[in-house]
């Protein structure tokens, strides 16, 4: 087991991932220091979500290594999971439980006091529906509930996959507030976005994932790059 490195939040080197014959990542490297909120952009299918899922231990890399605060995502997944919070486009809540029950469950699983569930519901603006089953919630409300789960956790590293989707203005502000709070605690955030404008107030530096490799952007990315035609053919053919 590795000791926790307080300086490097993410240290990924040569991360590659193949699905069948198709290489999605071809040696992506990325370093993120504590106090940084990095933005990651790229075309659809460029591997942004795959990289996040590798960093949060949901997928194993085919090649390469990745460390979160010094802990290897393959060798020490428990240590990694204790320090990260992953926000996915799918809310992942239980339809037949109420909003409060969903958060109480999350609080128990995370070893947090139960009162944090009520405090967090108030913060995300769901107190008025806290005892209703989430089956009837709108997609925005479901996303708020998923965000509340992240607030209950209050992790050192945020891995956010399209965090602004389905949010109104106050929801977007809530996401940015969460990022600021995490940075203020000495944490870090890696944010995958298409909606660059919403992230600009809190995110930087920026990286672009293209052809399976992460490259630093010189400034705020204005357009989402497309994969090169040669690479698209190579991906389909299975060469890395």
Residues that bind another protein (CB under 8 A): 56-60, 78, 81-82, 84, 86, 88, 90-97, 101, 105-106, 108-111, 133, 149
Q: Which is nearer to another protein, 7 or 95 (CB)?
A: 95
Instruction: Say which DSSP state 203 is in.
Output: -
Cβ 24 to another protein shortest distance, Å: 14
CB 153 within 8 A of CB 112: yes
Give the separation between CA 152 and CA 227, rounded to whole angstroms: 38
Q: 110 or 232, CB closer to another protein?
A: 110
C-alpha 36/C-alpha 207 separation (Å) is 13
CB distance 23 to 240 below 8 Å: yes
Comparing CA positions, the residue from 204, 134, 138, 208 lying closest to residue 176 is 204
In angstroms, give the least distance from the CB of 128 to another protein: 21
Residue closer to another protein, measured from CB, 112 or 194: 112
Give the nearest distance from C-beta 85 to another protein in angstroms.
8
Give me the least distance between CB of 92 and another protein, in Å please.
4
Q: What are phi and psi of 148, to 5 degrees?
A: -60, -40
Residue with Cβ nearer another protein (107 or 202): 107
State the chain's maximal CA–CA distance in angstroms.
55
Residue count (the chain): 240
CB of 222 to another protein, least distance (A): 32
Minimum CB distance to another protein smaller for 54 or for 231: 54
Q: Three-class SS of residue 181?
A: helix
* Least spacing, CB of residue 228 vs another protein, in Å: 29
CA 203, CA 186: separation in Å to the nearest integer?
15
DSSP structure class, residue 150:
H
Residue 151 or 213: which CB sits closer to another protein? 151
């Amino acid at each position: 087991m590795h000791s926790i490195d307080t300086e490097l939040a993410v240290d990924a080197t040569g991360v590659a991932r193949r699905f069948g014959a198709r290489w999605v990542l071809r040696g992506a490297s990325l370093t993120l220091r504590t106090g940084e909120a990095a933005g990651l952009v790229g075309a659809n299918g460029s591997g942004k979500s795959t990289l996040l899922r590798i960093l949060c231990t949901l997928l194993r890399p085919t090649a390469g290594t990745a460390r979160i605060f010094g802990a290897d995502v393959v060798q020490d997944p428990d240590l990694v999971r204790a320090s990260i919070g992953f926000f996915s486009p799918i809310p992942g809540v239980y339809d037949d439980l109420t909003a409060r029950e969903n958060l109480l469950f999350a609080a128990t699983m995370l070893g947090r006091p139960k009162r944090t569930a009520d405090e967090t519901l108030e913060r995300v603006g769901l107190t008025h529906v806290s005892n209703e089953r989430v089956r009837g919630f709108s997609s925005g409300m479901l996303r708020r509930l998923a965000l509340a789960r992240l607030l209950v956790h209050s992790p050192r590293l945020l891995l956010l996959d399209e965090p602004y989707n389905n949010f109104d203005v106050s929801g977007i502000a809530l996401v940015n507030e969460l990022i600021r709070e995490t940075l203020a605690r000495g944490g870090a955030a890696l944010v995958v976005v298409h909606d660059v404008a919403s992230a600009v107030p809190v995110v930087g530096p920026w990286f672009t994932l293209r052809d399976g490799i992460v490259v630093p952007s010189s400034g705020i990315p204005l357009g989402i790059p497309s994969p090169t035609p040669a690479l698209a053919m190579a991906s389909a053919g299975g060469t890395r």
